[in-house]
Amino acid sequence: MNPLKELYRFLNLENEGMETYKLSTEQHSAIAEARNQIKNEDSLTNEQANQEIDKWLEGQYTYPYGCNAH
């Protein structure tokens, strides 16, 4: 038997009876926004994110867009 066909058959058996998860309109919008941010490279590196988290934890974080969430 072909190993790929056997794997495919196994995976289908594992998923029998499982319902497909339906996303809400808000969830679709959030995913689209995230994809655009990735596409536009509008993100932080892991190191940048950690630095911002450290600043926030120390109370030195400056919130963007004039938001003051303190």
Q: Which residues contact 66 (CB under 8 A, 6 or more apart)?
A: none
Our separate counts of H helices and E strands in the chain read: 3, 0
Give CA–CA dist 56/49, Å, rounded.
11
Residuewise pLDDT in 10s, the chain (70 residues): 788 888 888 887 766 777 778 999 999 999 999 999 999 988 889 999 999 898 888 887 676 655 555 5
Q: Which residues contact 37 (CB under 8 A, 6 or more apart)?
A: 43
